[in-house]
Structure 1
């Protein structure tokens, strides 16, 4: 489902998605309230969600959509936030509300399609460059580190968590550590379970909040 208050934007995204043989747009919504209503009727697997919309915004809609499974299908939609970022100060809150990732609206069509497939598979869409910008923007407001929360993790699980927070895929982490992707996946699942986290997005936020990972500061003109 595509959610955006601009009809031209919705139509553009829908056309890109519907051109793919394995993807299909089941609905379009112009605001958060309509998105929640349609999601409960149609149970989409993935929702492309704008943030700034009149009426119910994307943040509130994301929280409602990910709070509980839709009926009767029992599906919890995976929300992929679409943002201009520079104008949307709510991206961080959207991830906390349950979004599975985010993309910039000026992303290439292939990046959009890859993002949809990633979150549909149960993974999180965390482009490293955008992740760094996101964390950079909110680094000054992160809570004080609480190392006790990480005591349940093994040294290898902490290492994997740090690499996840840097935006690396399982394959990239496997290459770095010299292990198989299956082993990495086991480590990721273990640390998510120990920390009570839903996915890699929440793991990334927690890693930065606790000081396990830190933003990469770059020169800005």
Structure 2
């Protein structure tokens, strides 16, 4: 199996050097670039075409969510893993809504980082034990908040995918019906999982059908792109 190409972005040089050394110690990963600001990261996205971006930006400048959003605009298909000391629910929520695939504490172990990056690369998203509790917290609060529902954070295409998931369509059938590739469907699903706080297709289907939390009425959702 070819190595997973990783772009590292952090505005603390010591953290950047440490993360680079750590990942280079794993045979599954290849660090294609290690940069300290968002502008350099966007340039590297265009040149190096990484599979994953691991970023700790957020303490200054663009902020966590803005950094994720800018990277997502520069390369919509790249998967973004945030590694930061900021573990408040509000930062986790905004990062996932902006398009992050995972949100990790800098206190995680070497092996947990490795496994999370591999999971994100294979499946599109991952939740650490610490982050899962925060995701469930803001997802629960949003379900109880009327207009603050996680559904409000979905794009039109993500809502369309969710509607088909609720009809028990699998990835291949969703791809066929929407005229897109199964890989693109999986990318949509990974972002839906992160925004809804679900972890797989079955759980997401149950959520959409109203089996999790308050009932969800999909017929009122716009399906435009």
- CA 1:93–1:21: 2 relative to 1, 3 Å: same
Structure 1 vs Structure 2 CA RMSD:
3.5
Q: Which runs of 5+ in 2 are unaligned?
A: 1-6, 152-158, 179-184, 199-206, 214-225
How many residues are paired up?
179
| Whole-angstrom distance in 1 between the partners of 2:59 and 2:15 | 13
Contact 2:92 2:131 in 1 (8 A): no
- What SS class does the counterpart of residue 54 from structure 1 fall into? coil
Instruction: Please show how residues 143-162 of structure 1 align to structure 2 within 5 Å.
Output: 143-144=145-146, 152-153=164-165, 157=168
Q: C-alpha displacement at 1:198, in angstroms?
A: 0.8
In the alignment, which of 162, 165, 189 is matched to residue 199 of structure 1? 189
Q: C-alpha displacement at 1:191, in angstroms?
A: 7.3
- Counterpart of 2:63 in structure 1 is 57
Q: TM-score, normalised by structure 1?
A: 0.64
Q: Which runs of 5+ in 1 are unaligned?
A: 70-74, 158-185, 215-221
Q: TM-score, normalised by structure 2?
A: 0.63
- CA 1:16–1:190: 2 relative to 1, 3 Å: farther
Contact 1:18 1:24 in 2 (8 A): yes
2:74 is aligned with 1:84: no
Render the CA deviation track for 1:111-164: whole Å, top value 9, x for unaligned. 111111122224311235522223314643455268x98765558x4xxxxxxx
Greater CA drift, 93-102 or 29-38: 29-38
